[in-house]
């Protein structure tokens, strides 16, 4: 049985974005180029100082080839499509 967190912080989601980016062997600059953001903006998201929107999470999930649940700590099959 899965246990869902009642509160997911920007910091936690940012850590998940960074974790997935590193698993793909990408720099923050590479993710920035693929998502239309600067390296500094990627860094703010990964540190949790920038709020995530559902739209931005969907963009990251598409680029990082993972399910939205991955960002919530539910590491499911990372296959594609979403």
Cβ distance 36 to 76 under 8 Å? no
Can you give the pLDDT at residue 51?
A: 93
Mean pLDDT, to the nearest integer, of 51-80? 86
Task: Spell out the domains of the chain, with CATH numbers in brackets.
Answer: 10-71 (1.10.260.40)
pLDDT tens track for 4-62: 544 579 999 999 999 999 999 999 999 999 999 999 999 999 999 999 999 999 999 99
pLDDT at res. 82: 44
Q: What is the DSSP string of the chain?
A: -----S---HHHHHHHHHHHHHHTT--HHHHHHHHT--HHHHHHHHHT-S---HHHHHHHHHHTT--HHHHTT------S--
pLDDT at 56: 96
| Structure-token pair, residue 64 | 């990082």
Identify the residue with better confidence: 79 or 50: 50
What gap in Å lies between CA 38 and CA 48, rounded to an integer?
Answer: 16
Q: Please say whether the beta carbons of 48 and 13 come within 8 A.
A: yes
For the cut 60, the answer to whether the pLDDT of residue 1 exceeds it is no
């Amino acid at each position: 049985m899965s246990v869902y967190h009642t509160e997911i912080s920007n910091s936690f989601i940012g850590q998940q974005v960074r974790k997935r980016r590193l698993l793909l062997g990408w720099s923050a600059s590479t993710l920035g180029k693929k998502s239309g953001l600067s390296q500094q903006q990627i860094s703010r998201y990964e540190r949790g100082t920038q709020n995530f929107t559902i739209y931005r999470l969907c963009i990251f999930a598409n680029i990082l080839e993972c399910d939205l649940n991955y960002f919530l700590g539910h590491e499911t099959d990372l296959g594609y499509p979403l």
